[in-house]
A and B are shown apart, each in its own frame.
Chain A
Amino acid sequence: SYVLTQPPSVSVAPGKTARITCGKNNIGSKGVYWYQQKPGQAPVLVIYYDSDRPSGIPERFSGSNSGNTATLTISRVEAGDEADYYCQVWDSSSHHYVFGTGTKVTVL
Chain B
Amino acid sequence: EVQLVESGGGLVQPGGSLRLSCAASGFTVSSNYMTWVRQAPGKGLEWVSVIYSGGSTYYADSVKGRFTISRDNSKNTLYLQMNSLRAEDTAVYYCARANLDYHYGMDVWGQGTTVTVSS
Q: Is B79 an interface residue (CB 8 A)?
A: no
Q: Is A43 an interface residue (CB 8 A)?
A: yes
Q: Identify which of B9-17, B24-32, B44-52, B81-89 touches chain A.
A: B44-52
Cross-chain contact A95 with B105 (CB below 8 angstroms): no
Q: Is B116 an interface residue (CB 8 A)?
A: no
Interface residue SS majority, chain A: strand
Q: Once the chains are docked, how many angstroms separate the CA of A31 from the CA of B44?
A: 20
Interface residue SS majority, chain B: strand
Cross-chain contact B94 with A43 (CB below 8 angstroms): yes
The distance from the CB of B23 to the nearest CB of chain A, in whole angstroms, is 15
Interface of chain A residues 21 through 37 with chain B (CB within 8 A): 31, 33, 35, 37
Cross-chain contact B105 with A86 (CB below 8 angstroms): no
Residues of B within 8 A of A (CB): 35, 37, 44-47, 50, 56, 58, 60-61, 94, 96, 102-107, 109-112
> Closest 8 interchain pairs by CB?
A48-B105, A42-B109, A97-B47, A49-B103, A102-B44, A95-B58, A48-B102, A99-B45
Sampled A-B contacts (23; CB under 8 Å): A1-B60, A1-B61, A33-B103, A42-B94, A42-B110, A42-B112, A43-B106, A44-B109, A45-B105, A45-B106, A48-B107, A49-B102, A49-B103, A52-B103, A54-B107, A86-B44, A88-B47, A95-B50, A96-B47, A97-B37, A97-B47, A97-B50, A99-B37
